[in-house]
Amino acid sequence: MESIFRLSVVTSEATVFDEQVSYVNLPTPFGSVGILARHAPMLCAVEKGILRCTLESGETVRVLVGGGVASVADNECTVLVANGKISEE
């Protein structure tokens, strides 16, 4: 069974992150939301904060994001945000 899915973090200027992942944790106005493969379709607001994701290798990547929206459908998570960058921590 497939346990990975595509995560794309996009700003108006560039694609900040576009990889296969096994887990995503989104900062939302109501707290964090965890996304796994085959998640039900969803559209939600994203709040300024740290998006965390786990790569296929098990490595955790942190992406600093501004406010925006996230869409989950067809085993893909697309996050459209005002700004974003990979955290060096």
Per-residue pLDDT tens over the stretch 4-63: 999 999 999 999 999 999 999 999 999 999 999 999 999 999 999 999 999 999 999 999
CA distance 74 to 65: 23
The predicted model gives 57-71 an average pLDDT of 96
d(CA 41, CA 35): 11
Paired strand residues for 85: 64
Contact present, 79 and 18 (Cβ < 8 Å): no
CA distance 22 to 29: 23
What the chain holds in terms of domains, given with CATH numbers, is: 5-86 (2.60.15.10)
Question: End-to-end CA distance of the chain, in Å?
Answer: 32
